[in-house]
């Protein structure tokens, strides 16, 4: 009886000790000894991430074809249309502001499911939108936030599963995503001709729900790591050692000492968002360049149907031109990882080659009105777009440690959001008063200027500063 009483008194102690409210594990911190699987379930995640993006992007990629006639019937100006697009992109990017905090508390799967629900709700609600404000709420707000959550979770989960094969996995994932721009333009024209605007919007809202199924495949990477923690079991995506299980068998358990650090709001904000990254000049230079370049590429891609329509081309010609762009894009996404693997070129260099091809193609589109010349120009844009798409996420991922990657992506999205909100309406006014050609030349000038700033920064850091360091070391050794 005494032993039984002792066991009964032990249980409350064990229960109290094991149910202490401790700080939750940082789910984006996989540990210093973490080794990416570089295969296995990672390939399922790779396919799922590609399918998720393919299901979510059509609302934005096919914006011109789906909403062009509808917005014309509502008498919306080019400035309002540009504002809808850029506010959507800005809100999509603003989700990055909470990326660091969100992925510390929630898994990639949870964030991806939330994003899928928001995307579906936003796209479906545009079917009943009747005004500029309605489109801002449905397309810009709901769809923008949902797209931000789904793309962030897809990109980050891919980076946690791959390291040595990251280029190849990213290329495969974006190749799957690239199937959409080939097939969806023809699908839009077909559905619009048979079922009208409401049928087209409802169809693509339903397609977006495939991102929910893809998010379910985002299993915690620690389950498939090459060196999981010794004597550890995975529970809810985090490691739980056997020591915790042995507590139930022990006779006396001492409650853990929890010391709460009292820090101010500003310090907590800086720590959560990892604003210390902004002290690195190279990182800031990368963010500014990516922000401006992607802003220009996004606006041009979405407005291609409007540009070709103003040139007098019909819908079937526009859809064919966009499909050719998408076909070149997806072909290069599949081929590029194998070709670039044999080249000793960095991610920035290959990204820069892609941007130069895009800028050249955009310039040809602005200067020509011949259909086949424009087809060639868009094919060149597709070639460059493939390189831009593959190496864009690898630039930040290759410079920032994996532990700080969510916060780095968050800061990138914040930069993008602020610039889109500021420059979007300005670009709309430029198109309205000076036309699409002048706006394209402005975009190209900004893009090339960003590449030039990267080249200058690389030259200064790699040659001038390194030479100074070598001279100082030689002088110290001679002494």
Under the banding of pLDDT at 50, 70 and 90, the label for residue 212 is very high
Query: Has residue 209 got a pLDDT over 80?
Result: yes
- Per the rule left: phi > 0, alpha: psi between -120 and 50, beta: everything else, 102 is alpha
Q: Can you tell me the mean pLDDT for 134-142?
A: 93
**Region 112-136: what's the mean pLDDT?**
93
Asked if pLDDT for residue 283 goes beyond 60, the answer is yes
The pLDDT value given to residue 199: 92
Higher pLDDT, 276 or 454: 454
- Per-residue pLDDT, averaged over 60-69, amounts to 86
Tell me the pLDDT band of 211, cut-offs 50, 70 and 90: very high
- As a whole number of angstroms, the distance between CA 330 and CA 163 comes to 23
- Position 18 scores a pLDDT of 46
pLDDT tier, 142 (very low <50, low <70, confident <90, very high otherwise): very high
User: How much is the pLDDT for 475?
Assistant: 41
Q: Which CATH superfamily is domain 41-224+269-462 in?
A: MFS general substrate transporter like domains (1.20.1250.20)
Residue 22 is encoded by which pair of tokens?
């401790």
Domain range summary for the chain, segments of one domain joined by +: 41-224+269-462
Query: By mean pLDDT, which of 314-318, 438-442, 474-478 is the weakest?
Result: 474-478
Instruction: Compare 354 and 174 and report the one with higher pLDDT.
Output: 354
> Which two structure tokens, joined as six digits, stand for 298?
């996004």
Ranges 26-30, 132-136, 369-373, most confident: 132-136
* pLDDT at residue 33 tops 50: yes
Residue 238 has pLDDT above 70, yes or no: no
pLDDT, mean of residues 114-132:
93
CA distances from 235 to 18, 25, 98, 240 (A): 15, 11, 25, 6
The H or E element that residue 235 is part of is strand 232-235
Segment 330-344 shows an average pLDDT of 79
Could you tell me which residue, 226 or 73, shows the higher pLDDT?
A: 73
């Amino acid at each position: 009886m005494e032993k039984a009483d002792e066991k009964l008194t032990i249980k409350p102690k064990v229960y109290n000790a094991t149910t202490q409210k401790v700080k939750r594990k940082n789910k984006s911190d996989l540990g210093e000894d973490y080794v990416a699987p570089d295969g296995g379930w990672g390939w399922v995640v790779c396919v799922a991430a590609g399918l998720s993006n393919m299901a979510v992007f059509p609302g934005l990629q096919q914006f011109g074809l789906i909403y062009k006639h509808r917005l014309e019937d509502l008498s919306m100006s080019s400035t309002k249309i540009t504002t809808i697009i850029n506010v959507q992109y800005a809100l999509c990017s603003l989700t990055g502001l909470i990326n660091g905090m969100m992925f510390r508390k929630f898994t990639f799967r949870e964030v991806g499911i939330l994003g899928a629900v928001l995307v579906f709700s936003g796209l479906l609600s545009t079917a009943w939108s009747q005004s500029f404000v309605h489109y801002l709420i449905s397309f810009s707000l709901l769809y923008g936030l949902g797209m931000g959550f789904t793309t962030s979770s897809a990109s980050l989960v891919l980076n946690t599963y791959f390291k040595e094969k990251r280029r190849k996995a990213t290329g495969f994932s974006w190749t799957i995503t690239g199937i959409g721009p080939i097939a969806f333009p023809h699908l839009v024209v077909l559905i619009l001709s048979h079922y009208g605007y409401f049928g087209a919007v409802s169809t693509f809202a339903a397609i977006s729900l495939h991102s929910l199924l893809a998010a379910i495949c985002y299993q915690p990477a620690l389950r498939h790591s090459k060196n999981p923690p010794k004597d550890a079991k995975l529970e809810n995506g985090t490691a739980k050692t056997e020591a915790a299980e042995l507590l139930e068998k022990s006779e006396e358990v001492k409650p853990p000492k929890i010391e709460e650090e009292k820090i101010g709001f500003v310090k907590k904000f800086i720590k959560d968002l990892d604003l210390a990254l902004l002290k690195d000049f190279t990182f800031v230079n990368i963010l500014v360049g990516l922000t401006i370049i992607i802003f220009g590429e996004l606006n041009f891609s979405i407005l291609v149907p409007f540009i070709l329509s103003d040139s007098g081309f019909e819908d079937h010609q526009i859809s064919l031109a966009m499909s050719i762009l998408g076909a070149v894009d997806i072909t290069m996404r599949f081929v590029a990882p194998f070709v670039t693997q044999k080249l000793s070129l960095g991610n920035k260099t290959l990204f820069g080659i892609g941007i130069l091809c895009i800028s050249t193609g955009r310039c040809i589109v602005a200067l020509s009105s011949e259909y086949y010349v424009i087809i060639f120009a868009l094919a060149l844009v597709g070639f460059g777009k493939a390189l831009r798409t593959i190496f864009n996420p690898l630039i930040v991922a290759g410079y920032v440690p994996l532990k700080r990657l969510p916060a780095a992506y968050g800061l990138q999205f914040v930069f993008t959001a602020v610039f889109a909100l500021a420059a979007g309406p300005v670009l709309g006014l430029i198109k309205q008063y000076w036309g699409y050609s002048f706006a394209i030349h402005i975009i190209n000038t900004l893009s090339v200027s960003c590449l030039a700033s990267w080249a200058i920064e690389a030259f200064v850091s790699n040659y001038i500063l390194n030479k100074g360091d070598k001279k100082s070391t030689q002088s110290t050794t001679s002494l």
